[in-house]
Structure 1
Amino acid sequence: SVITPISLEEAFELFCQGISPYGPFWDHVLGYWRASLETPEKILFLKHEELKKEPFVVVKSLGEFLGYPFSLEEESKGVVEEIVKLCSFENLSNLEVNRTSVQKFSKGATVDNRHFFREGKVGDWKNYLTAEMVQGLDEIAYHNLLASGLLFPT
């Protein structure tokens, strides 16, 4: 069965109530954030904003984290740049599998993969959320992230 689409306002309200496929967003993300601080050799915590700002730096740190740092030869031959290109939002969102396949969830529900891709731009939320929604989300974020040290740009 296909999941019935809901409005942005309904999805936003559910998100603010902590209702999402992986549980409350803050618990889910903070669990990984804290684990990455406790065991940085096992968990690499990346932020979309960092990846968009400095993709080459992030890809190089990912190689190091995985135990396969790029050699000077690989860097000079443009391997890092090619990986950034292949993993770009533009490339991934246009792959056949992401345009035509579906993601299966519990109870037989499915969602078209294309719905997981929007614009891939930092700050694009400003084009969708009202000032009231932003204020409410800022308050929730402040309350949930205050003691963690995890910050997201606004």
Structure 2
Amino acid sequence: MARFNRKEHTRIKFLPTIASTALLPTRAEITAGTDYTDQIAAVDGWSIENQPIETPDMGSTFVSKIGGDDSASDSSLTFYEDVTADDIETDLAKGTDGYIAIFSKGDVAAAKGLDVFPVTVVSNTKGYSTDNEAAKITVQFTVTDRPAMNQTVPAMT
């Protein structure tokens, strides 16, 4: 098993459109997206959670469970703020729809690990602090439909 550090391999991109109902972007759709990887200070969420259903019965004091509804965790990306450019503020403004594509093993053709989340931006907020730290903006997303997980990265063209 070859272990690796996500910070050197994982790429995170915002894609404005994906035509496929299976949420598998084409190489052209990936190229048309914006790679925000080098601007990201923190990543939160971006996973599927299940709400198990308890199924107690009279025959046992043990309460078993079955799988219930799936939902996406609360998800956000925290970016470093640029002192002159306002790309994050405008490109990811509240109400923006699109797709967050997370290439967990890099944007490498035929690699597994491409997760695609259909999203809407629900907040875009600057953080204010007197601490000795870089200025940041947190963008919170709602995941609007079931994401496509562990897809194969399309070939480079």
Q: By percentage of residues, which structure has more strand?
A: 2
Question: What TM-score comes out, normalization by structure 2 length?
Answer: 0.22
